[in-house]
Amino acid sequence: MTNSAVFHCPACGTAYPADRPIWRCDCGGHLNLEPRPGLRRADIDATDASLWRYRATLALRGPPRVSLGEGWTPLVARRWEDVAVQFKLESQMPTGSFKDRGTAVMLNHLLEVGVGPIHEDSSGNAGSSIATYAAAAGLRCRIYVPAAAPRGKIVQIAASGAELRTIPGTRQAVTEAALAAVGESFYASHNWHPFFIEGTKTLAYELWEQLGFAVPDNILVPTGYGSNILGLDRGFDELTRRGEISRRPRLFAVQAENCAALAAAWAADAADYVPFSPRPTIADGIATVKPVRTAEVLSALRRSGGGVAAVPEDEIGPALKALGRLGLFVEPTSGTAAAALRQLLRDGTIRPEQTTVVVLTGHGLKATDKIGELLGVS
Ligand SMILES: Cc1ncc(COP(=O)(O)O)c(C=O)c1O
Ligand SMILES: [Zn+2]
């Protein structure tokens, strides 16, 4: 660890020492953390059964001040479509979603640089993650969520003692409410802050280690803004530069066809965002209309040799039910990744003999209202 981390703005090229609470560049663009050296196998703290076993590669100044034991989630082998698959249970994080990877690292950075009260907007999972970690750290916190967010996520935010603001209308309206509050408290946005991706990069290290210091052929991730895709790209990039791996897994961003910004850009062979018409989807966690780092997510997917899979709405429920029958109880957003694997196996993009990881990003208990409807449970 070192205190020499640097933020860089891809839009205007400005660099900032990462020693102050900022969430974007003065030009309005998003910031990224400059590449880090990464770690070698020998640098892993194998006594720590959490993501902090990779502490040596994180751009923090010191040991974590707040942790709920996040990371080191199970990688479970199952058969899907009669093919061997590894399911990564990010749903078993402290708050029930993968967001805890990004939140834990981002919040520890914010504590190091002396942030005060924070606020955040979210479809629900990042909000409940940040509210929970803020409570654990003793920080005051306000969370903006869509009024239509799953009740489990809203209740979870309330349980942390955070101030809860439910906003009617679109997900974009929720973001605008949070932007309007900039100045009242620090905008600890998981979609903007580069330290969130510094946290999600530990997913790459974990898969590499859990697979016996080898990388899989394919990784499928339910994707809206792309924090896991960018984290995986960053982590595998570090491992490549360290000489620990010699090839990269193909990354597949999985989207709900009804709201698929990345799929629209991919289909147009575009390097950046292209406008599209969003429709409602049961996959609330990935109903993203305008990802902050669209161009970077697209280029990470291209660099990996992977792509984007868009799942029709009527295939999400059956995939969720089939996962349940395998003992994997996840929220509808995560069901999309299993549905996408079905699609990619059928069209030959993924072959049965390959090693494929499906990332299950959120727990079923987050969305029992919607799952109950799908199952016909009254
Ligand atoms: C369960 C779940 N999966 C996936 C995602 C997508 O994450 P990202 O928007 O960073 O791609 C979210 C985001 O809210 C989520 O809640
Ligand atoms: Zn800038």
Q: What is the pLDDT of residues 134-174, one digit of tens each?
A: 999 999 999 999 999 999 999 999 999 999 999 998 888 99
Among candidate residues 144, 161, 191, the one where a domain is terminated: 191
Question: Does residue 326 form part of some domain?
Answer: yes
Whether 230 lines ligand 1, by a CB cut-off of 6 Å, is no
Edge-to-edge strands of the sheet including 32-33?
Answer: 15-17, 6-8, 32-33
Let me know if residue 161 belongs to a domain. Answer: yes
Please name which ligand lies nearest the alpha carbon of 335: 1
Low-confidence ranges of the chain (pLDDT < 70): 1-3
Q: Is 127 in the pocket of ligand 1 (CB under 6 A)?
A: no
Residues 213 and 251 in one domain: yes
Looking at the structure, tell me whether residues 245 and 166 fall in a common domain.
Answer: no
Range of the domain at 168: 99-191
CATH number of the domain that residue 254 is part of: 3.40.50.1100
Whether 27 is in a domain gets the answer no
Structurally, how many domains does the chain consist of? 2
Quick one: which ligand is closest to 97's CA?
A: 1
Residues 341 and 319 in one domain: yes
Ligand 1: residue of 255, 286, 311, 330 to mutate (most ligand atoms within 8 A of CB) is: 286
Residues 236 and 349 in one domain: yes
In a domain, 129, yes or no: yes
Question: Amino acid identity of 180?
Answer: A
Are both 186 and 202 inside the same structural domain? no
* In-domain check, residue 52: no
Buried b (16+ CB within 10 A) or exposed e, 202-238: bbbbbbbbbeeeebbbbbbbbbbbbbbbbbbbbbbbb
Same domain, 281 and 162: no
In a domain, 167, yes or no: yes
pLDDT for 1 equals: 43
Q: Is 227 in the pocket of ligand 1 (CB under 6 A)?
A: yes
Establish whether residue 103 lines the binding site of ligand 1, counting it when its CB lies within 6 angstroms of any ligand atom: no
| Ligand 1 pocket check for 226: Cβ under 6 Å | yes
**pLDDT of res. 127:** 97
Q: Report the length, in residues, of the chain.
A: 378
Q: Are residues 279 and 359 in the same domain?
A: yes
Is there a single domain that holds both residue 203 and residue 141? no
Same domain membership, residue 137 and residue 279: no
Q: Is the CB of 225 under 6 A from ligand 1?
A: yes
Same domain (yes/no): 201, 130:
no
Distance 224 CA to ligand 1 centre (A): 6
From the CA of 12, how far away is ligand 2's center (Å)? 4
| Residues 260, 313 within the same domain | yes
Assess whether 85 and 220 both reside in one domain: yes
In a domain, 308, yes or no: yes
Sheet holding 118-121, edge to edge: 163-167, 141-146, 118-121, 186-187
Pairwise CA distance, residues 22 & 282, whole Å: 34
Q: Residues 53, 72: contact at Cβ < 8 Å? A: yes
What is the reported pLDDT for 225?
Answer: 98
Contact between 226 and 26 under an 8 Å Cβ cutoff? The reply is no
The residue among 138, 168, 191 that closes a domain is: 191
The verdict on residue 4 lying in a domain is: no
Q: Of 191, 221, 253, which marks where a domain is finished?
A: 191
The bound ligand whose nearest atom lies closest to the alpha carbon of 13 is: 2
CA of 294 from ligand 2 middle (Å) equals: 16
